[in-house]
Structure 1
Amino acid sequence: MINLAIVEDEDSYAAQLAEFVNKYQIESGTLFNVTRFRDGDEITNGYNSSFDIILMDIEMKFMDGMTAAEEIRKLDQNVVIMFITNMTNYAIRGYQVDALDYVLKPVSYFAFSQKLERAISRIRKSETNIITIEMSSGVKKLDIDNIFYIESEGHNLNFYTSGGEFTIRARLSDFEVQLAQYNFFRSNKGYLVNLKYVDGVEKGCCQIAGKQLLISRARKNDFMNALTDYMAGL
């Protein structure tokens, strides 16, 4: 099931897009759950990273699609955004929010179906490397490959990633099992590190993302073996 949002203030265009999605669903067998929003502020207010694809009109009354996309990208780096517009002069700003494509009005089914297929292909390539975490502000998707390490602090976990730092209430052991297949290893009871980002080991610590993270004596041999195996497999 692909969760798809249509953000379009004109009812006729929104209905046409929904009709095209349904036609594609029948032809391809791909199932969609479609949600309609009438303005950019509707989708950004309480955004919870639940969508796989967003079809975003650019010209809207309260919040234009480009501004809405910029707000969404602060919370969700993985959702596929496609703009619906009758203007092509937004290309540069589109790249800044990693827009996949543009659907030009008036919309033809053939062009739309080709672009939708491209969006689905991107989702399928990345979906196995995504985890979802529940934050106090809502749900956030994280690309596993962009996580440097996870730190346990009391009842909280701090995620240090290339896109910033995020805190949730959870146990480190839950993610230790989930991320083992992605070359994450527990250096001590407080850190789960991505071996990809280990720059070196010195004085009982591993160097990662500019930080020195302690390796416990009990885990040192296993950690070094895991790191050696990872480097040998590159």
Structure 2
Amino acid sequence: MLNIAICDDEKKELEIIYSLVSKNLTDIDQQFKINYFDEGEDLIEHMDSFKELYDIIFLDIYMKFSNGIDIAKRIREFDKECKIIFITSSKEHAIDSYDVKALHYILKPINEEKLFNAIKTAIDSLKKERKEIVITNKKGTYRVIYNEILHAESKARLVNIYLKSGKIITFYSKLQDFFESLEDERFLKSHKSFIVNMDYITKIENASITIINDKKIPISNSNIQAIKEVYYRYLLK
């Protein structure tokens, strides 16, 4: 179920966006719930009062009593993950939208194809962030979100998964079996004993990969160029 908010101070625009979003999600058989607001402050107040977070927020910039960029900045203070899509009448704030990590910036009058593409991108991004794998060891069973995995390392038939939180989950498996079970292009097997999440690579230099916690992951000497090409293709994608 997608939880969606639409915020625009013009009733006609609200109705148009609501209609197009509803039609697109119904056509792709996606369950959803939509709340709509005619002022940015009302959206913030609702999110604060009801502790409600949204998956996607369609946000106008030019409203009578608030500016959409400012509203988005306040949303980002407590929600870093929601997909913000600006739908507005001017290109003036397109650069500012990067500061709040907006997913798209769509000009009015709305082009249906651009709106539907923005929705598809948002859904694909949400699916990627929420994808998970179940790991079982002697201590219990864990649901591990892919987005939390920095890298994995194999030692003597044990696989250690290193998470962003600093936690390490250890279980019996061949590294290759674990790698194949992930079935996700963001993961790269750089060495017979290492898997790395390419979303967290900061540098590839000589025969090693550096990730965001400054950990260095080795690259097989015979495979350095191929590993670099896989990473560069992933970046471009």
What's the TM-score bracket when you normalise by the shorter of the two chains? 0.5 to 0.7
The amino acid across from 1:80 in the alignment is K
Deviation at 1:50, TM superposition (A): 2.1
Alignment of 1:120 onto 2:123: yes
Q: CA RMSD, aligned part only?
A: 3.5
Secondary structure, counterpart of 1:72 in structure 2: helix
Matched residues in 1 for 2:12 and 2:125: separation?
A: 28
Return the TM-score normalized by structure 1: 0.58
Report if aligned partners of 1:59, 1:65 keep a CA contact under 8 Å in 2: yes
Deviations 1:3-54 (A, max 9, x none): 1100011000000011101211232111221100111111112523521000
Sort the Cα spacing of 1:177 and 1:82 in 2 relative to 1 into closer, same or farther, 3 A: same
Q: Percent of counterpart pairs with the same letter?
A: 26
Structure 1 residue ranges, 4+ long, deviating more than 6 angstroms after superposition: 223-226
* 8 A contact 1:49–1:75 mirrored in 2: no
| CA apart distance, 1:183 | 6.5
**Aligned partners of 1:39 and 1:64 also within 8 Å:** no
Alignment coverage as a number of residue pairs: 160
User: In structure 2, what is the Cα distance between the partners aligned to 1:105 and 1:8?
Assistant: 12
Q: CA offsets, 1:55-109, max 9 Å, x none? A: 0000112221111100000101100000011111212210000001112101132
Q: Which has the higher contact order (CA 8 A, sep 6+)?
A: 1
2:173 equivalent to 1:195: no
Give the Å deviation of 1:224.
Answer: 11
Matched AA of 1:195: Y
CA distance in structure 2 between the partners assigned to 1:28 and 1:83 by the alignment: 22
1:55 has 2:58 as partner: yes
Q: Structure 1: 5+ residue runs without aligned partners?
A: 130-172, 185-193, 199-207, 209-222
Q: How does 1:10-159 map to 2 (within 5 A)?
A: 10-47=10-47, 48-128=51-131
